[in-house]
Structure 1
Amino acid sequence: MVPLKRRKVACPPAGNTGTTGGGDAGSIKFPEAVLFLLERKMGASRRTFLSQLGRKKGFQVEDAFNESVTHVVSENNSSEEVRRWLGSQNDQRAVHLLDISWFTESMRAGQPADILDRHKLQDESAHDNEVPLFSVPSYACQRRTSLANHNTALTDALSLLAENAELSKEEGRGVAFRRAVAVLKVLPEPVTSMAQLRGLPCLGGHTLRVIKDVLENGTSSEAEATKNSQRFRALKVLTGIFGVGAKTAERWIRLGIDDLQQLQQSGQTLNRAQQGGLEHYLDLNQPVTRSEADAIGEVVGRAVVSVSPGARITLIGGFRRGKPTGHDVDFLITHPEEGNEVGLMPKVVSWLQSKGFLLYQKTTRNSYLESDDGPAQPSSNMDRFERCFSIFKLDTGEGTRATEASGESGGEAAGAPEADPAPGSQVLSDDEQNPGAKPWRAVRVDLVVSPISQFAFALLGWTGSKLFERELRRWAGHEKAMSLSSHALYDGNQRRYVRATSEEEIFSHLGLEFIPPSERNA
C-alpha cells in the first residue's frame, strides 16, 4: 500500500491520495498545498473527520506523512513539539507548521487561506529555570471561581471564540477555549506578560496566541474578525430565537436567511416555540435581573403551594451562583415525601395558565430509570427530569405586583437594561420595539421537578456553571471511576449507586473539597 500512495503523490492529477475508496481523478483543486493532520492531541476520530472534510473541499490530505507534504496542521501543539515529531520521521524539510485555525478558515473559504502569523505554530517562550507565578489545579471543580475577574479582556476574546466554535458544532474546540477561560478567571491578578502563564493547565497553542495578541495589541484580531463576520452575526441573531439551535440556524443561513426580517419574509414553517421566540424576540434577548427572577419565583411559589402545600421550590442556575443577571430563570421543585412529586408539574402549569402567566409552554415527562447494572451510557449534562420550558409573562407595570394574578396594585417595576436591537428586529410588533409601552415582558422560565431522593444531584447539576458541571463529571470518571449525572452517582469499581442527601455529601464521595455555589462560576 505504501508504494501505491507514493506513486500517486508523484502524479497529482491521479486524485486525492488520502482518500479511501474516493477522490476521482482531477478532484484535487489545490495541488500546491498537500496537507497532513497530526493526530497528536487531536485524536484519531477528529483527525479522520477533518481529513474527510478537507478532501470534500478539494484539498489533498495525506493519511501518512511523506515527502510530498507541504503543510503540517496540528492542534494544541507548539512548533517545538511538532519539530521533534518531524525529527522522528527523519524529515528536515521546510514545511509550513500550522495551527488548526488555518485549516478551519481554509474550509470556510473553500480554498487555502493566507498564512498569517497567528496561524503559525509558536515556540515556547519560557525557560526551564523559570518558576511558575500561579498554581492552578487542572480541573475546574478543584478551584474556587467567584464572579470577580481580573482578565476580562482575555476571557472576553476567548469566550467569543468558544461561542463561535459551539455555534459551528466544533464542540472540542469550544470546550478547550472554555477551559482556558476558566483558568484565567481564577487568577488573583491581571496577566500582563506571557511569562506569567508558565505552568498553567488548559492553555494550548491557539489560546496562547490569542492571549499574546491581546496583551500586545489590546484586542484579538481573530476575535474581532469573528465578531464582525457575517456568518457569526447571523448565527447569533437566529439562535437568539427561542427554540432555534445552531443546526437550524445553519440551514437557514444556507438558504440566504441572515436576520429576522429575512426569516419572516422567507415563508419558513416555524414550530410553536419558534413562533413564540420570534414574537417576543427583544424581550427574551434582554437580560433578566435578580429582582425579576425573585418576582417570578413568588408567582411560581404560589402555584406550587396552591397545588401541593408541602412541596419546595429552589431558584437554581446562575442566580443561585450570585449572578446579578441571566438569560433565563430556572426553578427546581421537589416534595419531601418520595412519590408526592408525581403529577405535580401538570398542576403547577395548569395553575399558571389559568392565571395568564404562560405565553408558551412545553412539558416533558420524567424518563429516568435507575438500572441495577449502573448507567447504560456515560453521564452527560442532559438529564431526564420532568421539565416545563416556558415563556413567562412577567408583570412590570408601575404599581403592580407580579405575585398578584389579578393584576392588583403593589410591588416594584423591573429595571433590566434593554438589549441592542438585532438586525431585522424592526419587523416585530410595536410592543416589542418599545418594551416600555406595555406593562409586562416575556421571560424564559424553566421548571424542573425532581424526586427528593435525587434532589441533591439535581440541585448540583442545575446550579452550574456548565463547565464546572462538565469538569465534575470528568473528574468522577477519570479520577474516581464513577459516573455522575443530575440523577445519581454510580461507583464503577464497587458496582453500586452512592446515595447523597446534600451537595456536600456528593463532593465528599468524589474526594473533593466542597465549593459553595457562589464559587462555581468557572
Structure 2
Amino acid sequence: MVPLKRRKVNCSVTSDSSGDRTSKFPGVVIYLLERKMGASRRAFLTRLGRGKGFNIEYSLSCSITHIVSENNSGEEVRTWLDHQTGGQEREGGEGRTARPGSFHLLDIVWYTESMHAGIPVIILDRHRLQEREKPGLELAVVSVPSYACQRHTPLLHHNITLTDALSILAENAELGENEGRGVAFRRAAALLKSLPQEVRGAEQLRGLPCLGEHSLRVIKEVLEDGVSQEVETTTHSEQFKAMKALTGIFGVGAKTADRWFREGIHTPYDLQRSGHTLNRAQRAGLQYYNELNLPVTKSEAVAIGQIVERAVHAVLPGAEITLIGGFRRGKQTGHDVDFLITHPDEGREEGLMPKVVSWLEAQGFLLYRKTTGNSYLESKEGPARPASNMDRFERCFSIFRLSTDNEGREIQTGREIQTGDGPQTYSPTLTNIDPHTHSDSPHPLPQTLVVVGDHAQKLFERELRRWAVHEKAMTLSSHALYDRKRTQYLRASSEEEIFAHLGLEYIPPCDRNA
C-alpha cells in the first residue's frame, strides 16, 4: 500500500471555525478527506455543509463520526487513517476509544444527498466505501517502449488523476514558452496513459522510460496526498488563469497573451476595454469568445462534415472528405473539428480551396476565414524546407456558423478545410486540421478552425518524427517521408505504408491518444 504523509491527530474535539457554530445535528460530526478531493473543493464543500447547519471539522479528531471521501476505496481510507494514528487507538475527549474502523466511511454521494435534503440522509450500502482488492505493486508489463509511436495508447486509461496533474504543468510550461519542459511532462503523461493498470505506488514505475525527476516527484505526491501542491498552486495562480483565458481567444498566442498580462490585462473583458488594436483574427476571436470555448460534440462534427461535403462535391465531384483529429481517435467532444479533402486522381485537388470557400461564403456559413496556398516543394536533394509541425497544404482557417432557420431545419456550417496531394505523398491525416461547432439556440453560433491538433495527436506525431530521425535516418513531415541514406522519397498511399517504411507496428487512430 502507498505510504502516506503522517499528520498530527488531535485527540480532543477540535475548536476550528466550526466550533463557534451551532450544529443542527449534534450527533453527526463530519470530516472531509482532502486526499484526491483537493484543497479548494474541500473548502467549498465545507462552507456548503456549515451553511446548512452541519458540523464539519477541518482536523481529524476522536469526535468525528462520518468520514467522507471522493474517489478513494475503503481500504485506501483505512490505510490513510492508520498512518495518521500510527495504528494506535486514540482516547476521545469524553473518555471513549475511537478506532479508524469505527467511523462511517462514506462516499461523497452521501454528503451531496444530505446537502440536497438539508439533513443527514440514512446511510445505505451504496453510500459506504467499497473495499477493493489489493493489486500487486509490480506491473503486468514491465517493459514499455520509449517512443509513444511504439505504444498503444487508448482514449480511456487507468491513471487519469496522474495524467491530469502532469498535463496542467505541461500547459503551464507551454504558456510560458518553455517547450522542452512541456514536452517532458507530456511524454511522462503519455507513458502513464499506455500502462495496463492503475499506478498505486511509485515503485511500479521503477525503470520505465520518459519519467524525469520532476514528473516522478509530482506523481509520488499525488499518489500519497491525492493532489500535488505545485499543481494546486499553478491552477490557482492569476497568471495561469489569465494566460488560459487570453490564449483562449482565437488568433492569440502565448507571447501576445504574456505581453497583455504584464500590462494588466487578465480577461477578454479587460482586453475589450483596453483599446488595443487587434488584427482581424483576434477581433473575431474576441467577438465569438464564449461560443468558441464551448465543447463540440461528435454529432455536431458529423453534421458539419455533411455541409463541407456538399460544398466540396458542388465544385469537385469525386473528391473525398475525411473527419480526422480527435474525433477520429474516438473522442465524443472536442474544441475543433478537422477535415481532410483528397481526390483519387493526383492533382485534381489543386485550386480546390478557393472554390469551396466561395461556395460556403455564398451560403452564409463563414463568419471568419483565412486561406493559404500550398507552399510545399520537393527537391531531388531532399525536403525543400525543414520539417514543421505545421504542414504547407492548401488550407482555410475559419469560424463557421451553426444555426436553425424558422422552420426548425438544422443548418450546419463549415470548418477548417485542407486539401492534400493524392497517393504520392504521406497522408496528412496524422496532422490535425481543426474546425469547431455548437448549436443549441436559434442564434448563429461560431465555430473555430485551428490547424495545430490537440496535444495527444501532436505528441504522437512528434514521436513519429523523432523515431524516423534517430532510429531510421529518415525525415518525416506531413508531406513526405525521405530516406536520407538512399537520398530518395518513399512514396505511400496509406498510413499503414508509412508505418511499414518506418519499421513500426501500425497503431490505429483509436490508440494514438498519447
Q: TM-score, normalised by structure 2?
A: 0.67
Match of residue 503 from structure 1: 495
Aligned partner of residue 427 in structure 2, secondary structure: helix
- Which position in structure 2 is the counterpart of 1:367? 375
Give the aligned partner of residue 160 of structure 1.
168
| Structure 1 residues 251 and 186, CA gap change in structure 2 (3 angstroms) | same
Q: 1:252 to 1:131 in 2, by over 3 A?
A: closer
2:479 maps to a residue whose letter is H
In the alignment, structure 1 segments of 5+ residues that lack a partner are 1-129, 405-442
Q: Give the equivalent residue in structure 2 for 1:241.
A: 249
Is contact 1:454–1:487 with CA below 8 Å preserved after alignment? no
For the 8 Å contact 1:457–1:485, the answer to whether it is kept is no
- Is 1:469 the counterpart of 2:468? The answer is no
Task: State the secondary structure of the residue aligned to 2:382.
Answer: coil
Contact conserved, 2:426 with 2:495, CA < 8 A, in 1? yes
Q: 2:475 aligns to what?
A: 483
Which residue number corresponds to residue 517 of structure 1? 509
Count of equivalent residues? 355
Separation (CA, whole Å) in 1 of partners of 2:139 and 2:196: 17
CA distance in 2, matches of 1:485, 1:402: 38
Check whether the contact 2:139–2:197 (CA below 8 A) recurs between aligned residues.
no
- Counterpart in 2 of 1:231? 239
Question: What amino acid does structure 2 have at the position aligned with 1:493?
Answer: K
Matched to 1:502, the amino acid is S
Match of 2:422 in 1: 452
| CA offsets 1:451-493 (integer angstroms, 9 cap, x no match) | 1135642123338711000000000000000000000000000
Change (3 A) 1:131 1:354: closer
Deviations 1:142-177, CA, capped at 9 Å, x for gaps:
001111111111000000000000010000000000
Displacement of 1:261 after TM fit? Answer: 1.6
1:380 corresponds in structure 2 to: 388
Following the alignment from structure 1 to structure 2, what is the Cα–Cα distance between the partners of residues 131 and 517? 25
Q: What is the CA distance between 1:244 and its match in structure 2?
A: 0.3
CA distance in 2, matches of 1:198, 1:132: 13
Given that 1:328 and 1:444 are in contact with CA atoms closer than 8 Å, whether structure 2 keeps it comes out as no
Q: AA paired with 1:252?
A: W
> Given residue 143 of structure 2, which amino acid in structure 1 is its aligned partner?
S
Provide Cα deviations, 1:256-300, integer angstroms capped at 9, x if missing partner.
Answer: 111112111110011111111111111100010000001100100
Report 1:61-140 matches (<5 A): 134-140=142-148
Distance (Å, rounded) in 2 between the aligned partners of 1:156 and 1:273: 30
> Which structure 2 residue ranges, 5 or more long, are not aligned?
1-137, 433-452
For 1:180, give the aligned amino acid: A
* 2:393–2:418 CA contact under 8 A, matched in 1: yes
**Correspondence 1:103-502 to 2 at 5 A:** 134-395=142-403, 400-402=408-410, 445-454=415-424, 456-462=426-432, 465-502=457-494
The match for 2:109 is: none
Deviation of residue 395 (structure 1)?
A: 2.2
Partner of 2:450: none
TM-score normalized by structure 1?
0.66
The answer to whether the 8 Å contact 2:308/2:414 transfers is no
SS at 1:475's partner residue? helix
- In 2: Cα distance, 1:466 partner to 1:267 partner: 35
Matched with 1:423 is none
* Residue 211 to residue 520, structure 1, CA distance change in 2 (3 Å): same
Residues 364-391 of structure 1, C-alpha deviations (whole Å, 9 max, x = no match) = 1100000111024542221111110000
| Aligned-pair CA distance for 1:321 | 0.8
Q: CA distance change for structure 1 residues 393 and 447 in 2, over 3 Å: closer, same or farther? A: same
CA distance in 2 between counterparts of 1:272 and 1:308 reads 30
Q: Indicate the percent of aligned positions where both proteins have the same amino acid.
A: 66
Q: Distance in 1 between matches of 2:157 and 2:238?
A: 30
Partner-residue secondary structure (3-state), 1:294: helix
Distance 1:190 1:467, change over 3 A: same
**Contact 1:299–1:402, Cα closer than 8 Å, also in 2:** no
Contact 2:401–2:414 (CA under 8 A) maintained in structure 1: no
**Which amino acid in structure 2 is aligned with residue 342 of structure 1?**
E
Contact between 1:473 and 1:484, CA under 8 Å: does it hold in 2?
yes
Tell me the amino acid that sits aligned with residue 486 of structure 1.
S
Question: 1:69-104 CA deviation, whole Å, 9 max, x = no partner?
Answer: xxxxxxxxxxxxxxxxxxxxxxxxxxxxxxxxxxxx
RMSD across aligned positions (CA): 1.8
Alpha-carbon distance in 2 for matches of 1:466, 1:306:
32
* Cα shift readout 1:325-376 (whole Å, capped 9, x = no counterpart): 1111111011211221111100100000000100000001100000111024
**Separation in 1, partners of 2:426, 2:332:** 24
Gap change, CA 1:149 and 1:348, over 3 Å in 2: same
Q: Which amino acid aligns with 1:452?
A: G
